[in-house]
Chain A
């Protein structure tokens, strides 16, 4: 590792002890021990200060408040929640909402990002220009401002409940939210779910078989098309045969607002749109640079081999582009999860808003609440990055 110093006469004369200091391994051990000691001492000092301060200020750092009734309402919950439920329940509600926002925003921003990324490469000048100005404007304004802009610029301007936009079949849009028919499970539904699962597994098995056969014999089989057919047609048939084991609860105007079905509040819509729009810009740039990173020679080589266009895309361009695309894409996905904490600006009850703000405020227990919030984000990020690191190691080019 480190170089061998020129042995001058002076050094030669030194004793064993000083030679030990110049030994790379011993020096490294000393440095590490010192660092470790410093860090541990620092942590010990911080903890001790905290304990003393907590005691002096009559504050409690315990988790005893978790089973106390929270007493405030939450505007949007995935799991049942009443005002009288405990703080622990509030924590769970916050986690579910954050995860929901993250998942939906990731899906939408990926789709949209790919579209914009392709549009930026379009030969149509105005499309490329619109895509480019979209990316530049959205990327260069703080997300916090954009969330507020979407909330007031679009969703708060929708018609009021009595003048709602009724899109066919129980889909209603107004400034109190987006109302959807809610599924109501009836007899036979479990059986249908089983059939769905079986057909999905069957399609996957078919795909694997087709891939193996392709490798073995070189004969291709339209596995994706057939698989899609299986996944769509079989459950559809089963659904009809079982006599529609699912009915729909339609939202209807009762009193002040629509009742029934699923209600998606405007703050959720604004958050999702803003997050997806913002993230899609970064994804678009990632996709664009990924595709551009595949050198022209590869395309020409594929052309020389007379590969069909979709094969060139699937077997030549994408595998190479993906290697460039995936790592930054994952960090964008993690950013979406973290950025969803900005929901606080428009009051969507995500973890930060409902837990680190409202609950902290009402209970005053700063330390356990902040610790739990950070713990959740750490857990999500670390598990995602762990999975991605494994994937990344598999696709990266091996160097020597």
Chain B
């Protein structure tokens, strides 16, 4: 019986017509659909070709790759090709500034620690991502400060560095247990000790003890290593750029939230003070703020206070960035419908509960692309610290052209610096676009 049953086999799809598939069709459809389009295509291709060939000729085909002085380069190709050896010799300086060469590994380890700290954020099975992210922002700077600065550490600083180290250990412990066992490190520890059925208080006590133990071990570890001091005057290059913009963004997020809340507050004094601060710092160019802090901060302080140059630049960048961040956050806050506030209010939540539990989580989620954009802007803006004389990427590039052997080498270092900036900014903006798309899912995008 059943053997007679014919199964329905659909006939295979017919291939699309030859002129609507394949490379040729794509080209026809997208590039030469009509005459103006074809002209535009040719024009676009021509522009792309001219620019690319000029740059490639200079940077690659006509370039000099080995020479001892700029004179040798000039004698070989004149100015038709780039002179790379000078940049190559100084390349390490472009990245690390004047940081002592034998200590450079500390910078590498410091940034490696940050990357390792962030890795769990990309592991899908890790659940405490917010905690990890927050710890990276709050605790990592202490750890990094000692790697970068070194020197004598007092009791307090030792404690703080150990706190950073503790944070790092706990983050990875959590990441490991969550990936392998699908439970937090604390829960895993309690299970391992066989106290899963113990009282809540007992469990908390065990967790605290464990943290304390790690902290003490970390203190011991920190106490036993010591790095030589590298004063901030030797910091420079990409490293300095990253430090300034990193601190700027870390500081500006909480400060920006406070300012934005202040501006929307219904206490007139607070609202007007926040508004004045935000508008003042947003209305002047960063370069004037940097200038002011550089020349005038020492005047504002009591006589004899030494404020180092890097700190002045960082203070200026932080204040500037917080004013901008405040406006971004305010935009986010405004996007939260009134209904949310009213609902929270009707549940009897206090102002701070409403803000921290209901409004900010929603606002920050909307604002993430803008915050990343702000960070890119800040990263680019740090080029301005070169104008007050810090040896960031720009000034380091300039120093190459003042080296007696490479006197006048100017275009090449700038080309490399531009590339470095582009790679970083492009990576960040692509990440931000990806993030935007990911966050946009589930919302009506019509």
Q: Size band of the A side of the interface?
A: 35 or more
Using CB atoms, name the residue of chain A closest to B289: A374
Whether the pair A145, B41 counts as a contact (CB closer than 8 A) is no
B: number of interface residues (CB 8 Å): 57
C-beta contact mask, B155-194 vs A, less than 8 Å → 1, else 0? 0000000000000000000000000000000000000000
C-beta contact mask, A124-168 vs B, less than 8 Å → 1, else 0? 111101100000110111111100110010000000000000000
Across the interface, B40 reaches (CB within 8 A) one of A46, A56, A126, A143, namely A126
Whether the pair B302, A382 counts as a contact (CB closer than 8 A) is no
B5 to chain A, nearest CB (A): 47
C-beta contact mask, A29-58 vs B, less than 8 Å → 1, else 0? 001110110010000001001101110100
Across the interface, B418 reaches (CB within 8 A) one of A125, A149, A373, namely A149
Whether the pair A374, B292 counts as a contact (CB closer than 8 A) is yes
User: Given A130-B48, A141-B422, A142-B421, are A31 and B285 also a contact pair (CB < 8 Å)?
Assistant: no
B contact patch SS: helix
Whether the pair A374, B284 counts as a contact (CB closer than 8 A) is yes
Tell me, in angstroms, the Cα distance from A377 to B394 when the chains sit together: 25
Residues in A neighbouring B299, C-beta threshold 8 A:
49-50, 53-54, 367
Across the interface, A148 reaches (CB within 8 A) one of B280, B302, B381, B414, namely B414
Within 8 Å of chain A (Cβ to Cβ): is B310? no
Within 8 Å of chain B (Cβ to Cβ): is A381? yes
Tell me, in angstroms, the Cα distance from A124 to B41 when the chains sit together: 8
Whether the pair B30, A124 counts as a contact (CB closer than 8 A) is yes
Tell me, in angstroms, the Cα distance from A46 to B300 when the chains sit together: 5
Tell me, in angstroms, the Cα distance from A141 to B424 when the chains sit together: 9
Tell me, in angstroms, the Cα distance from A356 to B298 when the chains sit together: 18
Tell me, in angstroms, the Cα distance from A370 to B291 when the chains sit together: 8
C-beta contact mask, B376-395 vs A, less than 8 Å → 1, else 0? 10001101100100000010
Within 8 Å of chain A (Cβ to Cβ): is B303? yes
Whether the pair B273, A35 counts as a contact (CB closer than 8 A) is yes
Tell me, in angstroms, the Cα distance from A50 to B280 when the chains sit together: 20
Whether the pair B280, A378 counts as a contact (CB closer than 8 A) is yes
Tell me, in angstroms, the Cα distance from A126 to B37 when the chains sit together: 9
Whether the pair A140, B303 counts as a contact (CB closer than 8 A) is no
Whether the pair B418, A141 counts as a contact (CB closer than 8 A) is yes
- A364-393 CB contacts (< 8 Å) to partner B: 366-367, 370, 373-374, 377-378, 380-382, 385
User: Given A125-B30, A139-B429, are A377 and B285 also a contact pair (CB < 8 Å)?
Assistant: yes
C-beta contact mask, B299-325 vs A, less than 8 Å → 1, else 0? 111110000000000000000000000
Tell me, in angstroms, the Cα distance from A145 to B418 when the chains sit together: 7
Across the interface, B349 reaches (CB within 8 A) one of A3, A4, A53, namely A3
Residues on B facing A (Cβ under 8 Å): 30-31, 33, 37, 40-41, 44-45, 47-48, 266-270, 273, 279-280, 282-288, 291-292, 295-296, 298-303, 338, 348-351, 376, 380-381, 383-384, 387, 394, 411, 414, 417-418, 421-422, 425-426, 429, 446
Task: Return 6 A-B CB contacts under 8 Å, by A number.
Answer: A1-B351, A49-B302, A54-B299, A142-B421, A149-B418, A374-B288
The 6 closest A-B pairs by CB, nearest first: A381-B283, A125-B30, A140-B425, A32-B269, A338-B285, A341-B285
Given A127-B40, A127-B41, A356-B288, 4 more contacts at CB 8 Å? A50-B300, A123-B30, A140-B429, A295-B446
Residues on A facing B (Cβ under 8 Å): 1-4, 28, 31-33, 35-36, 39, 46, 49-50, 52-54, 56, 123-127, 129-130, 136-137, 139-145, 148-149, 152, 295-297, 334, 338-339, 341-342, 344, 352, 356, 366-367, 370, 373-374, 377-378, 380-382, 385, 399-400
